[in-house]
Amino acid sequence: MAKRKVEKVLLSPIAMQIDKVRKRLNSLRPRVSEADQQTIDLEIEKLVKFRKDLAGFCRRMTQPFRLPLKEREK
Render pLDDT for 31-71 as a digit per residue (tens, 0 to 9). Answer: 999 999 999 999 999 998 988 888 777 666 544 545 555 55
Q: Is 33 domain-assigned?
A: yes
Domain count across the chain: 1
Q: Is 45 domain-assigned?
A: yes
Whether 74 shows a pLDDT value over 50: the answer reads no
Indicate the pLDDT class of residue 25, thresholds 50, 70 and 90. Answer: very high
Whether 72 shows a pLDDT value over 60: the answer reads no
Q: Is 28 domain-assigned?
A: yes
Q: Is 25 domain-assigned?
A: yes
**pTM score:** 0.62
Q: Is 46 domain-assigned?
A: yes
Give the N- to C-terminal CA distance of the chain in Å, as an integer: 21
Domain extent at residue 25: 12-60
Q: What angle do CA 53, 14, 42 make, to 5 degrees?
A: 60
